[in-house]
Amino acid sequence: MSKSDSSFSKSQLDLLKQFKKQISQHQPTKAAAQPEPKKNSNLPSEDLDDVDLFKKALQGVKKIDNGNIAKIESSSIRKKPDAKTLAKRAAAEGAFKVENTELSDTQAILNPVASQAKLSYRIATLQHKVFEELKAGNLRWYEAVDLHGCTVEEARTAVLQIIQIAKDENQNVIKIVHGKGPEAILKTYVNSWLRQHRDVLAFVSAPESQGGTGAVLVLLKRAEKNPKFSK
């Protein structure tokens, strides 16, 4: 077929060639294509897509400042109650309501104990095996209070409060550190008070490893066995 027979004129053919040339110039080449992000060959393709999406979602996110967060002590051990603190708290709260608060000092005055004497007391119905376990220090005590530096009245209040605290928590073994000074004043009063308290089943001087004759281990009635206990 000759050029004259063609349905396109020469000028139309020239325009067609220019149009094809323009189209070829605008097509992206492999060299101009954007490089693909580097992928970890150790991850499956679906996980790589998730990682890319997660990274895009975190763009612009700032790390939280932890400077104003309060430090919390890791230890959960409760501090032992201080005798003077217990006495001051009782005085601040007014009348200290507890069973058997009227503890006479007459027995203490009439029956002083020596500083190195071993204290020992139990009610008649207490099983011998339980008492021996208490003497040996095998019964784990719940709480302890140290009466060193207290007046007689502060010590009395502290003893009553530590017993009440144990009852409220349904615990039945406590330790009272009374010391063993030359005159053993607080030791004498503690010996007298504990013998009068209706919730005391027994008490003995502690083993040497737990305070010796300067402390007593006290066995109390369980709360559920106390007819006056009310939850």
Query: Alpha helices of the chain — where are they, by DSSP H?
Result: 10-26, 45-57, 83-93, 106-110, 128-135, 152-168, 185-196
Residue numbers in the chain where pLDDT is lower than 50: 1-4, 31, 72-77, 95, 98, 100, 228-229, 231
First to last CA, the chain: 115
pLDDT of res. 224? 62
The pLDDT tens digits of the residues spanning 47-57 come to: 556 767 777 77
Q: How would you class 126 by CB atoms within 10 Å of its CB: exposed for 0-12, middle for 13-18, buried for 19 or more?
A: middle
What's the pTM value of the predicted model, to 2 decimals?
Answer: 0.59
Domains of the chain, each with CATH number or no CATH: 103-225 (3.30.1370.110)
Phi, psi of 218 (to 5 degrees): -120, 130
The pLDDT tens digits of the residues spanning 2-49 come to: 444 555 667 767 777 776 776 666 555 554 555 555 555 555 555 556
pLDDT of res. 192? 95
Question: What CA–CA distance (Å, rounded) separates 64 from 47?
Answer: 27
